[in-house]
Chains A and B, each alone.
Chain A
Amino acid sequence: MSTIVFIDTRGDKLPKAAQEAVTYASKLAGGPVTAVTFGNGSNLESLGAQGASKVIVARGVIAVDGQQLTKLVTDVAAKEGVTTIVCVQDGTGKAVAPRVAAKLKAGHVAGAIALPEGNTFKRNVFSGKAQAFLEVTSPVKVISLMPNSIPIAKGEGTAAVEEYSGDLGPARITVKEVRKAGVGIPLPEAEIVVSAGRGMKGPENWGPIEELAQLLGGATACSRPVADMHWRPHHEHVGQTGVAIRPNCYIAIGISGAIQHLAGVNQSKVIAVINKDPEAPFFKAADYGIVGDAFEVLPKLIEAAKKLNADR
Protein backbone atom coordinates (compact mmCIF):
# COMPACT_ATOMS: atom_id res chain seq x y z
CA MET A 1 0.00 0.00 0.00
CA SER A 2 1.43 3.31 -1.01
CA THR A 3 0.34 6.88 -0.35
CA ILE A 4 0.74 10.19 -2.18
CA VAL A 5 -0.38 13.65 -1.21
CA PHE A 6 -1.57 16.36 -3.63
CA ILE A 7 -1.06 19.94 -2.46
CA ASP A 8 -1.24 23.51 -3.75
CA THR A 9 2.12 25.19 -3.09
CA ARG A 10 1.89 28.22 -5.37
CA GLY A 11 3.29 31.43 -3.97
CA ASP A 12 6.42 32.22 -2.05
CA LYS A 13 5.39 30.65 1.22
CA LEU A 14 4.45 27.02 1.78
CA PRO A 15 0.78 27.10 2.79
CA LYS A 16 -0.07 25.78 6.22
CA ALA A 17 -2.69 23.48 4.69
CA ALA A 18 -0.04 21.86 2.47
CA GLN A 19 2.23 21.17 5.44
CA GLU A 20 -0.71 19.73 7.38
CA ALA A 21 -1.64 17.44 4.48
CA VAL A 22 1.90 16.09 4.14
CA THR A 23 2.02 15.51 7.91
CA TYR A 24 -1.32 13.68 7.76
CA ALA A 25 -0.34 11.56 4.75
CA SER A 26 2.91 10.46 6.31
CA LYS A 27 1.18 9.56 9.59
CA LEU A 28 -1.40 7.61 7.60
CA ALA A 29 1.30 5.80 5.62
CA GLY A 30 3.48 5.26 8.68
CA GLY A 31 6.49 6.58 6.78
CA PRO A 32 7.71 8.95 4.07
CA VAL A 33 5.35 9.83 1.22
CA THR A 34 5.55 11.38 -2.23
CA ALA A 35 4.02 14.84 -2.59
CA VAL A 36 2.56 16.01 -5.90
CA THR A 37 2.19 19.68 -6.68
CA PHE A 38 2.22 22.27 -9.48
CA GLY A 39 3.24 25.82 -10.33
CA ASN A 40 6.13 27.96 -9.31
CA GLY A 41 6.25 27.38 -5.54
CA SER A 42 9.60 27.55 -3.80
CA ASN A 43 10.96 25.80 -0.70
CA LEU A 44 9.42 22.47 -1.73
CA GLU A 45 12.40 20.49 -0.37
CA SER A 46 11.49 21.68 3.13
CA LEU A 47 8.39 19.44 3.02
CA GLY A 48 10.84 16.75 4.12
CA ALA A 49 10.27 18.07 7.63
CA GLN A 50 6.62 16.96 7.41
CA GLY A 51 7.47 13.55 5.99
CA ALA A 52 7.80 13.93 2.21
CA SER A 53 10.74 12.03 0.74
CA LYS A 54 10.05 13.28 -2.77
CA VAL A 55 8.09 16.17 -4.30
CA ILE A 56 6.96 15.84 -7.91
CA VAL A 57 6.10 19.25 -9.36
CA ALA A 58 4.41 20.11 -12.67
CA ARG A 59 6.02 23.53 -13.15
CA GLY A 60 4.14 24.44 -16.33
CA VAL A 61 0.69 24.24 -14.74
CA ILE A 62 -0.24 27.63 -13.33
CA ALA A 63 -4.02 27.70 -13.10
CA VAL A 64 -6.24 25.32 -11.18
CA ASP A 65 -7.39 23.28 -14.18
CA GLY A 66 -9.01 20.27 -12.58
CA GLN A 67 -8.59 18.11 -15.67
CA GLN A 68 -4.84 18.70 -15.97
CA LEU A 69 -4.34 18.27 -12.25
CA THR A 70 -6.46 15.11 -12.15
CA LYS A 71 -4.29 13.67 -14.90
CA LEU A 72 -1.18 14.65 -12.93
CA VAL A 73 -2.39 12.97 -9.75
CA THR A 74 -3.71 9.81 -11.40
CA ASP A 75 -0.53 9.49 -13.52
CA VAL A 76 1.73 9.60 -10.49
CA ALA A 77 -0.66 7.29 -8.61
CA ALA A 78 -0.56 4.74 -11.42
CA LYS A 79 3.22 4.88 -11.71
CA GLU A 80 3.76 4.40 -7.99
CA GLY A 81 1.01 1.82 -7.46
CA VAL A 82 -0.77 4.14 -5.08
CA THR A 83 -3.90 3.17 -3.16
CA THR A 84 -4.27 6.20 -0.88
CA ILE A 85 -4.38 9.77 -2.17
CA VAL A 86 -4.46 12.62 0.34
CA CYS A 87 -5.67 16.07 -0.76
CA VAL A 88 -6.78 19.26 1.02
CA GLN A 89 -10.42 20.25 1.43
CA ASP A 90 -9.85 23.78 0.06
CA GLY A 91 -10.57 25.62 -3.19
CA THR A 92 -7.93 23.73 -5.15
CA GLY A 93 -8.62 20.38 -3.55
CA LYS A 94 -12.35 20.68 -4.26
CA ALA A 95 -11.61 21.07 -7.97
CA VAL A 96 -9.34 18.02 -8.06
CA ALA A 97 -9.99 15.43 -5.33
CA PRO A 98 -13.61 14.56 -6.28
CA ARG A 99 -12.52 14.27 -9.93
CA VAL A 100 -9.70 11.91 -9.00
CA ALA A 101 -12.17 9.87 -6.95
CA ALA A 102 -14.68 9.71 -9.81
CA LYS A 103 -12.00 8.70 -12.29
CA LEU A 104 -10.61 5.92 -10.07
CA LYS A 105 -14.07 4.87 -8.77
CA ALA A 106 -12.72 5.56 -5.32
CA GLY A 107 -14.49 6.52 -2.13
CA HIS A 108 -13.80 10.15 -1.21
CA VAL A 109 -13.65 11.51 2.32
CA ALA A 110 -14.55 15.16 1.78
CA GLY A 111 -13.04 16.87 4.81
CA ALA A 112 -11.44 14.33 7.17
CA ILE A 113 -10.84 15.93 10.58
CA ALA A 114 -8.73 13.18 12.18
CA LEU A 115 -6.68 10.08 11.41
CA PRO A 116 -8.93 7.09 10.65
CA GLU A 117 -9.75 3.98 12.60
CA GLY A 118 -9.17 1.29 10.01
CA ASN A 119 -10.93 2.60 6.92
CA THR A 120 -13.40 4.75 8.84
CA PHE A 121 -12.87 8.50 8.74
CA LYS A 122 -14.45 11.20 10.88
CA ARG A 123 -15.80 14.29 9.11
CA ASN A 124 -18.08 17.21 9.86
CA VAL A 125 -21.66 17.13 8.67
CA PHE A 126 -24.70 19.37 9.17
CA SER A 127 -22.39 22.40 8.99
CA GLY A 128 -20.39 21.33 12.01
CA LYS A 129 -23.43 20.56 14.14
CA ALA A 130 -22.52 16.85 14.03
CA GLN A 131 -19.80 14.47 12.87
CA ALA A 132 -20.15 11.38 10.72
CA PHE A 133 -18.05 8.24 10.46
CA LEU A 134 -17.55 7.37 6.82
CA GLU A 135 -16.22 3.95 5.90
CA VAL A 136 -14.42 3.77 2.57
CA THR A 137 -14.89 0.36 0.97
CA SER A 138 -13.23 0.84 -2.43
CA PRO A 139 -9.67 -0.44 -3.02
CA VAL A 140 -8.42 3.11 -3.74
CA LYS A 141 -9.19 5.90 -1.26
CA VAL A 142 -9.12 9.66 -1.71
CA ILE A 143 -8.97 11.61 1.54
CA SER A 144 -9.31 15.40 1.61
CA LEU A 145 -8.04 16.80 4.88
CA MET A 146 -9.90 19.68 6.49
CA PRO A 147 -7.51 22.58 7.18
CA ASN A 148 -6.53 23.14 10.85
CA SER A 149 -7.19 19.48 11.75
CA ILE A 150 -3.72 18.38 12.86
CA PRO A 151 -0.54 20.02 14.13
CA ILE A 152 2.25 20.30 11.56
CA ALA A 153 5.13 17.85 12.12
CA LYS A 154 8.47 19.58 12.53
CA GLY A 155 10.92 16.79 11.77
CA GLU A 156 14.30 16.67 10.09
CA GLY A 157 14.89 15.92 6.47
CA THR A 158 14.83 17.37 2.99
CA ALA A 159 12.66 16.11 0.15
CA ALA A 160 14.07 15.46 -3.32
CA VAL A 161 12.32 17.73 -5.81
CA GLU A 162 11.62 16.24 -9.21
CA GLU A 163 9.96 17.88 -12.20
CA TYR A 164 6.99 16.10 -13.74
CA SER A 165 7.72 15.45 -17.39
CA GLY A 166 4.51 13.86 -18.67
CA ASP A 167 1.94 15.52 -20.95
CA LEU A 168 -1.08 16.93 -19.13
CA GLY A 169 -2.88 18.11 -22.25
CA PRO A 170 -4.07 21.67 -22.88
CA ALA A 171 -5.54 23.83 -20.12
CA ARG A 172 -9.26 24.38 -20.77
CA ILE A 173 -9.45 26.98 -18.01
CA THR A 174 -7.21 30.05 -18.25
CA VAL A 175 -6.61 32.66 -15.57
CA LYS A 176 -7.06 36.18 -16.92
CA GLU A 177 -6.34 38.14 -13.82
CA VAL A 178 -5.96 37.91 -10.05
CA ARG A 179 -7.37 40.92 -8.25
CA LYS A 180 -5.64 41.33 -4.91
CA ALA A 181 -8.00 42.04 -2.05
CA GLY A 182 -5.17 43.26 0.13
CA VAL A 183 -6.18 41.14 3.09
CA GLY A 184 -3.59 40.09 5.66
CA ILE A 185 -3.94 36.48 6.78
CA PRO A 186 -6.46 34.49 4.71
CA LEU A 187 -9.44 33.78 6.94
CA PRO A 188 -9.43 29.97 6.64
CA GLU A 189 -5.77 29.90 7.74
CA ALA A 190 -6.04 32.31 10.65
CA GLU A 191 -5.45 30.92 14.17
CA ILE A 192 -7.13 33.93 15.74
CA VAL A 193 -10.24 35.59 14.32
CA VAL A 194 -11.86 38.80 15.56
CA SER A 195 -15.38 38.97 14.18
CA ALA A 196 -18.11 41.57 14.46
CA GLY A 197 -21.79 41.89 13.66
CA ARG A 198 -24.61 44.32 13.28
CA GLY A 199 -24.01 45.44 16.87
CA MET A 200 -21.15 47.60 15.53
CA LYS A 201 -23.79 49.93 14.03
CA GLY A 202 -21.87 50.91 10.87
CA PRO A 203 -18.75 50.34 8.75
CA GLU A 204 -17.10 53.46 10.18
CA ASN A 205 -16.78 51.68 13.52
CA TRP A 206 -14.54 48.84 12.34
CA GLY A 207 -11.26 50.59 13.28
CA PRO A 208 -11.00 48.98 16.74
CA ILE A 209 -11.97 45.55 15.33
CA GLU A 210 -9.12 45.74 12.84
CA GLU A 211 -6.74 47.07 15.46
CA LEU A 212 -7.53 44.26 17.89
CA ALA A 213 -7.11 41.63 15.15
CA GLN A 214 -3.80 43.12 14.16
CA LEU A 215 -2.51 43.28 17.74
CA LEU A 216 -3.39 39.61 18.25
CA GLY A 217 -1.95 38.57 14.89
CA GLY A 218 -5.36 37.47 13.66
CA ALA A 219 -7.80 38.04 10.81
CA THR A 220 -11.13 39.88 10.79
CA ALA A 221 -14.51 38.33 9.97
CA CYS A 222 -18.16 39.37 10.10
CA SER A 223 -21.74 38.12 10.21
CA ARG A 224 -23.82 37.81 7.06
CA PRO A 225 -25.95 40.98 7.34
CA VAL A 226 -22.75 42.97 7.74
CA ALA A 227 -21.45 41.66 4.40
CA ASP A 228 -24.89 41.98 2.79
CA MET A 229 -25.06 45.67 3.73
CA HIS A 230 -21.56 46.09 2.28
CA TRP A 231 -20.10 47.22 5.57
CA ARG A 232 -17.40 44.60 5.05
CA PRO A 233 -16.18 42.59 2.03
CA HIS A 234 -18.02 39.35 1.23
CA HIS A 235 -15.00 37.15 1.80
CA GLU A 236 -15.17 38.03 5.52
CA HIS A 237 -18.68 36.58 5.92
CA VAL A 238 -18.53 33.47 8.10
CA GLY A 239 -21.30 30.98 8.77
CA GLN A 240 -23.46 28.42 7.09
CA THR A 241 -23.61 30.35 3.81
CA GLY A 242 -20.20 31.99 4.12
CA VAL A 243 -16.77 30.70 5.02
CA ALA A 244 -16.59 27.92 7.62
CA ILE A 245 -13.62 28.43 9.91
CA ARG A 246 -12.03 26.58 12.81
CA PRO A 247 -9.45 28.88 14.39
CA ASN A 248 -7.94 28.37 17.84
CA CYS A 249 -9.65 31.50 19.05
CA TYR A 250 -12.82 33.20 17.80
CA ILE A 251 -13.78 36.52 19.36
CA ALA A 252 -17.33 37.60 18.43
CA ILE A 253 -18.37 41.19 19.06
CA GLY A 254 -21.94 42.43 18.60
CA ILE A 255 -23.06 39.18 16.96
CA SER A 256 -26.25 37.55 18.24
CA GLY A 257 -25.15 33.97 17.54
CA ALA A 258 -27.90 32.82 15.17
CA ILE A 259 -27.76 29.11 14.40
CA GLN A 260 -26.62 29.81 10.82
CA HIS A 261 -23.75 31.92 12.10
CA LEU A 262 -22.72 29.29 14.65
CA ALA A 263 -22.67 26.65 11.92
CA GLY A 264 -19.58 28.28 10.44
CA VAL A 265 -17.68 28.95 13.64
CA ASN A 266 -18.69 26.28 16.17
CA GLN A 267 -15.56 24.26 15.41
CA SER A 268 -13.36 26.99 16.88
CA LYS A 269 -11.29 25.76 19.81
CA VAL A 270 -12.15 28.67 22.11
CA ILE A 271 -14.99 31.16 21.63
CA ALA A 272 -15.22 34.53 23.39
CA VAL A 273 -18.41 36.56 23.06
CA ILE A 274 -18.99 40.24 23.72
CA ASN A 275 -22.63 41.32 23.56
CA LYS A 276 -24.68 43.90 25.44
CA ASP A 277 -27.63 41.52 25.66
CA PRO A 278 -27.15 38.87 28.39
CA GLU A 279 -29.77 36.73 26.59
CA ALA A 280 -27.85 36.64 23.29
CA PRO A 281 -27.83 33.00 22.12
CA PHE A 282 -24.11 33.19 21.39
CA PHE A 283 -23.30 32.97 25.12
CA LYS A 284 -24.57 29.36 25.08
CA ALA A 285 -21.83 28.45 22.60
CA ALA A 286 -19.11 30.50 24.29
CA ASP A 287 -16.18 29.63 26.54
CA TYR A 288 -15.74 33.23 27.73
CA GLY A 289 -18.32 35.97 27.77
CA ILE A 290 -18.59 39.67 28.53
CA VAL A 291 -21.99 41.33 28.83
CA GLY A 292 -21.27 44.89 27.82
CA ASP A 293 -21.29 47.60 25.20
CA ALA A 294 -18.77 46.87 22.45
CA PHE A 295 -17.80 50.51 22.26
CA GLU A 296 -16.75 50.46 25.92
CA VAL A 297 -15.27 46.96 25.96
CA LEU A 298 -13.13 47.23 22.82
CA PRO A 299 -10.76 49.96 24.11
CA LYS A 300 -10.12 47.80 27.19
CA LEU A 301 -9.34 44.76 25.03
CA ILE A 302 -7.01 46.79 22.83
CA GLU A 303 -5.22 48.16 25.85
CA ALA A 304 -4.79 44.65 27.29
CA ALA A 305 -3.55 43.30 23.93
CA LYS A 306 -0.97 46.09 23.73
CA LYS A 307 0.20 45.26 27.22
CA LEU A 308 0.41 41.56 26.37
CA ASN A 309 2.49 42.30 23.27
CA ALA A 310 4.79 44.57 25.26
CA ASP A 311 5.31 41.85 27.88
CA ARG A 312 6.21 39.04 25.49
Chain B
Amino acid sequence: MKILVLLSQVPDTTARIAFTNGNTQFDASGVTFIVNPYDEWYALVRALELKEAVGAGSVTTITVGAADTEATIRKGLAIGADEAVRVDVQPTEALQVAEQVAAYAKDKGFDLILAGKETIDHNGGQVGAMVAELLDLPYIALASKLDLNGTTATVERDVPGGVEVMEVTLPFALSAAKGMAEQRIPNMRGIMAARTKPLTVIPAAVTDNVATTKSFELPPPKGAVKMIPAEEAGKLIELLHTEAKVI
Protein backbone atom coordinates (compact mmCIF):
# COMPACT_ATOMS: atom_id res chain seq x y z
CA MET B 1 0.00 0.00 0.00
CA LYS B 2 1.74 3.15 -1.26
CA ILE B 3 -0.15 6.33 -0.46
CA LEU B 4 0.58 9.90 -1.51
CA VAL B 5 -0.97 12.74 0.51
CA LEU B 6 -1.04 16.31 -0.80
CA LEU B 7 -0.17 18.69 2.04
CA SER B 8 -0.49 22.42 1.67
CA GLN B 9 0.45 25.21 4.03
CA VAL B 10 -2.15 27.87 4.88
CA PRO B 11 -2.54 30.77 7.31
CA ASP B 12 -3.97 29.77 10.69
CA THR B 13 -7.79 29.83 10.80
CA THR B 14 -7.77 32.84 13.13
CA ALA B 15 -5.22 34.85 11.12
CA ARG B 16 -6.04 38.47 10.35
CA ILE B 17 -6.61 38.71 6.61
CA ALA B 18 -4.91 41.79 5.16
CA PHE B 19 -3.03 42.64 1.97
CA THR B 20 0.03 44.67 1.05
CA ASN B 21 1.65 46.12 -2.10
CA GLY B 22 -1.51 47.77 -3.33
CA ASN B 23 -3.67 44.78 -2.39
CA THR B 24 -1.66 42.40 -4.56
CA GLN B 25 -0.09 40.31 -1.80
CA PHE B 26 -1.27 38.55 1.33
CA ASP B 27 0.18 40.27 4.38
CA ALA B 28 1.95 37.45 6.18
CA SER B 29 3.44 39.58 8.95
CA GLY B 30 2.58 38.13 12.33
CA VAL B 31 0.67 35.24 10.73
CA THR B 32 1.18 31.65 11.90
CA PHE B 33 1.08 29.02 9.17
CA ILE B 34 -0.42 25.57 9.63
CA VAL B 35 -1.04 22.43 7.63
CA ASN B 36 -4.32 22.89 5.74
CA PRO B 37 -6.88 21.29 8.14
CA TYR B 38 -8.49 19.04 5.49
CA ASP B 39 -5.10 17.71 4.43
CA GLU B 40 -3.94 17.04 7.98
CA TRP B 41 -7.08 15.94 9.82
CA TYR B 42 -8.71 13.88 7.09
CA ALA B 43 -6.41 12.96 4.18
CA LEU B 44 -3.23 12.29 6.15
CA VAL B 45 -4.84 10.59 9.15
CA ARG B 46 -6.96 8.28 6.95
CA ALA B 47 -3.85 7.40 4.94
CA LEU B 48 -2.05 6.44 8.15
CA GLU B 49 -5.03 4.38 9.36
CA LEU B 50 -5.19 2.47 6.08
CA LYS B 51 -1.47 1.74 6.17
CA GLU B 52 -1.74 0.60 9.77
CA ALA B 53 -4.70 -1.67 8.93
CA VAL B 54 -2.80 -3.33 6.09
CA GLY B 55 0.32 -3.47 8.25
CA ALA B 56 2.61 -2.60 5.34
CA GLY B 57 3.34 0.17 2.90
CA SER B 58 4.23 3.81 3.14
CA VAL B 59 2.68 7.24 3.39
CA THR B 60 4.48 10.01 1.50
CA THR B 61 3.47 13.66 1.68
CA ILE B 62 4.10 16.13 -1.11
CA THR B 63 4.06 19.90 -0.78
CA VAL B 64 4.59 22.39 -3.55
CA GLY B 65 6.20 25.36 -1.84
CA ALA B 66 9.29 27.31 -0.87
CA ALA B 67 11.65 26.42 2.00
CA ASP B 68 9.40 28.27 4.48
CA THR B 69 6.93 25.36 4.30
CA GLU B 70 9.33 22.92 5.95
CA ALA B 71 8.05 23.44 9.51
CA THR B 72 4.52 22.50 8.44
CA ILE B 73 5.87 19.57 6.43
CA ARG B 74 7.60 18.29 9.61
CA LYS B 75 4.23 18.39 11.37
CA GLY B 76 2.96 15.85 8.83
CA LEU B 77 5.97 13.65 9.59
CA ALA B 78 5.36 14.04 13.33
CA ILE B 79 1.78 12.85 12.91
CA GLY B 80 3.16 9.75 11.23
CA ALA B 81 3.98 10.13 7.52
CA ASP B 82 7.05 8.09 6.53
CA GLU B 83 8.65 10.58 4.21
CA ALA B 84 8.02 14.00 2.73
CA VAL B 85 8.73 15.58 -0.62
CA ARG B 86 8.86 19.30 -1.28
CA VAL B 87 8.77 20.63 -4.81
CA ASP B 88 10.85 23.77 -4.64
CA VAL B 89 8.70 26.46 -6.20
CA GLN B 90 6.29 29.12 -4.96
CA PRO B 91 2.75 27.95 -5.78
CA THR B 92 1.01 30.51 -7.97
CA GLU B 93 -1.97 28.70 -9.39
CA ALA B 94 -3.83 25.36 -9.16
CA LEU B 95 -2.79 23.82 -12.47
CA GLN B 96 0.84 24.70 -11.81
CA VAL B 97 0.65 22.88 -8.43
CA ALA B 98 -1.12 19.88 -9.97
CA GLU B 99 1.47 19.59 -12.74
CA GLN B 100 4.27 19.52 -10.15
CA VAL B 101 2.54 16.77 -8.17
CA ALA B 102 1.76 14.77 -11.30
CA ALA B 103 5.35 15.08 -12.57
CA TYR B 104 6.60 13.60 -9.29
CA ALA B 105 3.94 10.88 -8.94
CA LYS B 106 3.68 9.63 -12.50
CA ASP B 107 6.22 6.80 -12.31
CA LYS B 108 6.05 6.03 -8.56
CA GLY B 109 3.11 3.59 -8.62
CA PHE B 110 1.02 5.08 -5.83
CA ASP B 111 -2.11 3.05 -5.01
CA LEU B 112 -3.91 6.03 -3.58
CA ILE B 113 -3.56 9.80 -3.87
CA LEU B 114 -5.35 11.81 -1.21
CA ALA B 115 -5.90 15.57 -1.27
CA GLY B 116 -7.89 17.76 1.08
CA LYS B 117 -11.36 19.05 0.21
CA GLU B 118 -9.93 22.52 -0.37
CA THR B 119 -7.25 24.87 0.90
CA ILE B 120 -8.68 27.36 3.37
CA ASP B 121 -6.87 30.25 1.66
CA HIS B 122 -7.55 29.57 -2.03
CA ASN B 123 -10.76 27.56 -1.53
CA GLY B 124 -10.52 26.07 -5.00
CA GLY B 125 -11.12 22.39 -4.33
CA GLN B 126 -9.41 21.71 -7.62
CA VAL B 127 -5.80 20.52 -7.28
CA GLY B 128 -6.70 16.87 -6.50
CA ALA B 129 -8.97 16.54 -9.53
CA MET B 130 -6.34 18.10 -11.78
CA VAL B 131 -3.70 15.64 -10.54
CA ALA B 132 -6.12 12.77 -11.24
CA GLU B 133 -6.70 13.99 -14.78
CA LEU B 134 -2.98 14.39 -15.47
CA LEU B 135 -2.37 10.83 -14.20
CA ASP B 136 -5.50 9.36 -15.85
CA LEU B 137 -6.96 8.21 -12.51
CA PRO B 138 -10.54 8.05 -11.25
CA TYR B 139 -11.23 10.76 -8.68
CA ILE B 140 -13.94 11.29 -6.11
CA ALA B 141 -14.52 14.83 -4.83
CA LEU B 142 -15.45 15.52 -1.19
CA ALA B 143 -15.28 11.97 0.14
CA SER B 144 -16.45 11.55 3.74
CA LYS B 145 -15.55 7.85 4.14
CA LEU B 146 -12.98 5.52 2.59
CA ASP B 147 -12.70 1.79 3.23
CA LEU B 148 -10.49 -0.74 1.47
CA ASN B 149 -11.08 -4.39 0.78
CA GLY B 150 -8.06 -5.65 -1.11
CA THR B 151 -7.87 -3.49 -4.21
CA THR B 152 -11.51 -2.41 -4.09
CA ALA B 153 -12.45 0.74 -2.24
CA THR B 154 -15.82 1.82 -0.94
CA VAL B 155 -16.12 5.60 -0.81
CA GLU B 156 -18.96 7.73 0.50
CA ARG B 157 -19.77 11.34 -0.12
CA ASP B 158 -22.59 13.64 0.92
CA VAL B 159 -24.91 14.62 -1.91
CA PRO B 160 -27.96 16.86 -1.69
CA GLY B 161 -30.49 14.86 0.30
CA GLY B 162 -28.35 11.88 1.22
CA VAL B 163 -25.13 9.93 1.07
CA GLU B 164 -23.81 8.31 -2.10
CA VAL B 165 -21.86 5.06 -1.70
CA MET B 166 -19.44 4.31 -4.52
CA GLU B 167 -17.03 1.57 -5.50
CA VAL B 168 -13.75 2.09 -7.30
CA THR B 169 -10.64 0.01 -7.87
CA LEU B 170 -7.10 1.07 -6.94
CA PRO B 171 -5.30 3.17 -8.02
CA PHE B 172 -7.41 6.31 -7.72
CA ALA B 173 -7.46 9.77 -6.14
CA LEU B 174 -9.91 11.61 -3.91
CA SER B 175 -10.39 14.75 -1.89
CA ALA B 176 -11.09 14.24 1.79
CA ALA B 177 -13.86 16.06 3.66
CA LYS B 178 -15.11 15.90 7.22
CA GLY B 179 -16.02 12.43 8.45
CA MET B 180 -13.09 10.60 6.89
CA ALA B 181 -11.00 10.48 10.08
CA GLU B 182 -10.49 12.09 13.47
CA GLN B 183 -7.74 14.62 14.01
CA ARG B 184 -4.54 13.20 15.56
CA ILE B 185 -2.32 15.23 17.86
CA PRO B 186 1.38 14.43 17.35
CA ASN B 187 3.07 13.01 20.46
CA MET B 188 6.61 13.61 21.67
CA ARG B 189 7.94 10.45 20.05
CA GLY B 190 6.42 11.46 16.73
CA ILE B 191 7.93 14.92 16.96
CA MET B 192 11.39 13.49 17.73
CA ALA B 193 11.13 10.91 14.94
CA ALA B 194 10.07 13.61 12.45
CA ARG B 195 13.48 15.27 12.78
CA THR B 196 15.23 12.36 11.19
CA LYS B 197 12.64 11.26 8.65
CA PRO B 198 13.54 12.05 5.02
CA LEU B 199 12.40 15.37 3.58
CA THR B 200 13.47 15.38 -0.02
CA VAL B 201 13.56 18.62 -1.98
CA ILE B 202 13.12 18.28 -5.72
CA PRO B 203 13.36 20.95 -8.42
CA ALA B 204 10.20 22.14 -10.12
CA ALA B 205 9.07 21.06 -13.57
CA VAL B 206 8.52 23.81 -16.14
CA THR B 207 4.86 24.76 -16.49
CA ASP B 208 2.83 27.31 -18.46
CA ASN B 209 0.98 30.05 -16.69
CA VAL B 210 -2.76 29.92 -17.35
CA ALA B 211 -4.14 32.25 -14.69
CA THR B 212 -2.89 34.91 -12.30
CA THR B 213 -4.39 36.45 -9.18
CA LYS B 214 -4.09 40.17 -9.92
CA SER B 215 -5.37 41.64 -6.67
CA PHE B 216 -7.44 41.15 -3.55
CA GLU B 217 -10.25 43.03 -1.92
CA LEU B 218 -11.71 42.98 1.58
CA PRO B 219 -15.50 42.97 1.86
CA PRO B 220 -16.98 46.36 2.76
CA PRO B 221 -17.41 46.76 6.52
CA LYS B 222 -20.83 45.76 7.85
CA GLY B 223 -23.23 48.58 8.69
CA ALA B 224 -24.29 48.89 12.31
CA VAL B 225 -26.37 46.05 13.68
CA LYS B 226 -30.01 46.91 14.36
CA MET B 227 -30.93 45.66 17.84
CA ILE B 228 -34.42 44.51 18.72
CA PRO B 229 -35.49 44.18 22.36
CA ALA B 230 -36.08 40.57 23.41
CA GLU B 231 -39.64 41.30 24.56
CA GLU B 232 -40.47 42.37 21.00
CA ALA B 233 -38.61 39.52 19.30
CA GLY B 234 -41.46 38.97 16.84
CA LYS B 235 -40.48 42.27 15.24
CA LEU B 236 -37.44 40.54 13.79
CA ILE B 237 -39.64 38.45 11.52
CA GLU B 238 -41.53 41.59 10.49
CA LEU B 239 -38.33 43.48 9.68
CA LEU B 240 -36.85 40.57 7.75
CA HIS B 241 -40.02 40.59 5.68
CA THR B 242 -40.76 44.30 5.19
CA GLU B 243 -37.36 45.98 5.54
CA ALA B 244 -34.70 43.43 4.53
CA LYS B 245 -37.17 41.64 2.19
CA VAL B 246 -35.45 38.28 2.61
CA ILE B 247 -38.33 36.20 3.97
**CB within 8 Å of B: which residues of A?**
15, 63, 65-67, 70, 89, 91, 94-99, 101-103, 105-111, 120, 122-127, 129-138, 172-183, 186, 188-189, 191-192, 216, 234-235, 237, 240-242, 244, 248-249, 259-260, 263, 266, 269-270, 272-274, 283-293, 296-297, 300-301, 303-305, 307-308
The reply to whether A173 and B166 contact each other, CB–CB distance below 8 Å, is yes
The count of residues in chain B whose C-beta lies closer than 8 Å to any C-beta of chain A is 83
- Residue of A94, A122, A269, A301 near B246 (CB, 8 A) is A269
A134 CA to B210 CA, complexed, in Å:
10
Chosen A-B contacts, 15 in total, with CB atoms closer than 8 Å, are A91-B159, A91-B160, A102-B133, A105-B210, A108-B94, A125-B216, A181-B161, A188-B160, A192-B246, A234-B178, A241-B178, A296-B233, A304-B234, A304-B238, A308-B237
- Residue of A137, A285, A291 near B227 (CB, 8 A) is A291
A235 CA to B161 CA, complexed, in Å:
9
- The 9 A-B residue pairs whose C-beta atoms are closest, nearest first, are A292-B230, A304-B234, A107-B211, A186-B160, A304-B237, A110-B124, A98-B126, A98-B129, A107-B210
The reply to whether B236 and A288 contact each other, CB–CB distance below 8 Å, is yes
The reply to whether A301 and B233 contact each other, CB–CB distance below 8 Å, is yes
The reply to whether A133 and B217 contact each other, CB–CB distance below 8 Å, is yes
- Residue of A102, A123, A175 near B164 (CB, 8 A) is A175
Does B21 sit at the interface, judged by CB under 8 A?
A: no
Q: A173-B167, A287-B226 in contact; A66/B237 too (CB < 8 A)? A: no
B187-229: which have CB < 8 Å to A? 208-219, 222-223, 225-229
A133 CA to B214 CA, complexed, in Å:
6
Chain B residues near A242 (CB-CB < 8 A): 178
A174 CA to B158 CA, complexed, in Å:
15
- Residue of A131, A172, A177 near B169 (CB, 8 A) is A172
Give the most central of B136, B172, B226: most A CB within 10 Å. B226
The reply to whether B247 and A192 contact each other, CB–CB distance below 8 Å, is yes
Nearest-Cβ distance from residue B67 to partner chain A, whole angstroms:
24
Q: Is the interface of A mostly helix, strand, loop or mixed?
A: mixed
The reply to whether B163 and A181 contact each other, CB–CB distance below 8 Å, is yes
- Residue of A234, A240, A288 near B239 (CB, 8 A) is A288
A304 CA to B37 CA, complexed, in Å:
41
Chain A residues near B230 (CB-CB < 8 A): 290-293, 296-297
The reply to whether B236 and A70 contact each other, CB–CB distance below 8 Å, is no
The reply to whether B226 and A289 contact each other, CB–CB distance below 8 Å, is yes
A99 CA to B129 CA, complexed, in Å:
6
The reply to whether A288 and B95 contact each other, CB–CB distance below 8 Å, is no
Task: With A70-B133, A102-B98 given, name 16 new contacts (CB 8 A).
Answer: A94-B141, A94-B175, A95-B129, A102-B134, A106-B210, A108-B126, A108-B210, A133-B215, A178-B164, A192-B246, A241-B37, A244-B123, A269-B244, A272-B240, A293-B230, A303-B234
